[in-house]
Amino acid sequence: MSAATDTLRTPAPAGAFGRSVRDSLVVAKRNLIRMVRIPEVVIFGLIQPIMFVVLFSYVFGGSMNIGGTTSPSVYREFLMAGIFAQTVTFATAGAGAGIAEDMHKGLIDRFRSLPMARGAVLTGRTLADLVQTALTLVILAVVALLVGWRTHTNVGEVLAAFGLLLLSGYAFTWIGALIGLSVRTPEAATSGGLVWLFPVTFISNAFVDSSRMTPWLRHIAEWNPFSATVQACRQLFGNPGVSTSEAWPMQHPVWASLIYSILIVLIFRTLAVRKYRSATA
């Protein structure tokens, strides 16, 4: 009787979309609770980007030529947009490993037995990862301020830059979801996630001026979606690193970053949900 009463009191979601949103939020909550109960996951996720900030700032800071100067303070401001973008992108590996672990432990099969939207499991997972990424960015920004990074634009543009970073990170998380569903073990998902992340992040304008690369490598870096996000953030932060390239993504980095991120979400979410359905069929 009580169960029936609770059912009657629960407002029914408006159609399939409403059910999908509700189910996605439930899965996201489950993953966020898991993160709180296992704080070392978040802590270790913070260590790597902080190490990159400190090492690149102080080890390479005086040897990089940015805009005709080798000033360490200039390089720190040039660097931080790349570190922020690398941090949100590297969250992809963790997302893939988490989904692969759920598959390996049979949790996905238990979700499948429930009357819930098929895409909700993946959407909920990626939303939880987005929250963790946002927390990481906040702490990383504080560390960046401590080592000398500064912004030179208004609050709205700074917030817009962080919004682009989160959107880009969310988009790449769907690539991680597809990888996690395509391998058999969490270890394979982690390795598979990192294999393609390193060339994407390093063949870019994140850590060096891409105009100094060889021509064929420079063209790859200029059309790299990761480079568009980095350049957009530098522009919105008012940091050094204005590109002289004629490539469209470098001339319109904010729009390029938005378009790339939306396309990646549309393509890889479709592929990941399709893979999820076939993997659990």
Can you tell me the distance from the alpha carbon of 79 to that of 2, in angstroms, rounded to the nearest whole number? 59
Other Cβ atoms within 10 Å of 105 Cβ, number: 11
| CA pair distance 8, 224, nearest whole angstrom | 52
pLDDT for 263 equals: 97
Which residues lie below 8 Å from residue 125, measured CB to CB, with a gap of 6+?
27, 28, 31, 95, 98, 99, 102, 177
Per-10-residue mean pLDDT of the chain, 281 residues long, equals: 41 63 82 77 76 78 67 84 91 80 72 72 87 90 89 95 95 91 81 86 89 90 95 94 86 96 95 79 49
On whether the CB atoms of residues 49 and 140 are closer than 8 A, the answer is yes
- Determine the pLDDT at residue 171: 94
Angle of the 15-37 helix axis to the 39-59 helix axis, nearest 10: 80
DSSP-assigned beta bridge partners for residue 69: 66
Q: What are phi and psi of 71, to 5 degrees?
A: -65, 125
Q: What is the DSSP letter of 204?
A: S
166 close to 88: Cβ distance less than 8 angstroms: yes
Instruction: State which amino acid sits at residue 152.
Output: H
Output DSSP code: residue 69. B
- Would you state the pLDDT for residue 48? 78
* Residue-range domain boundaries for the chain: 16-279
Quick check: 260 and 225 in contact, CB under 8 A?
yes
pLDDT at 7: 39
Q: Which two tokens stand for residue 113?
A: 């037995």
Position 141 scores a pLDDT of 92
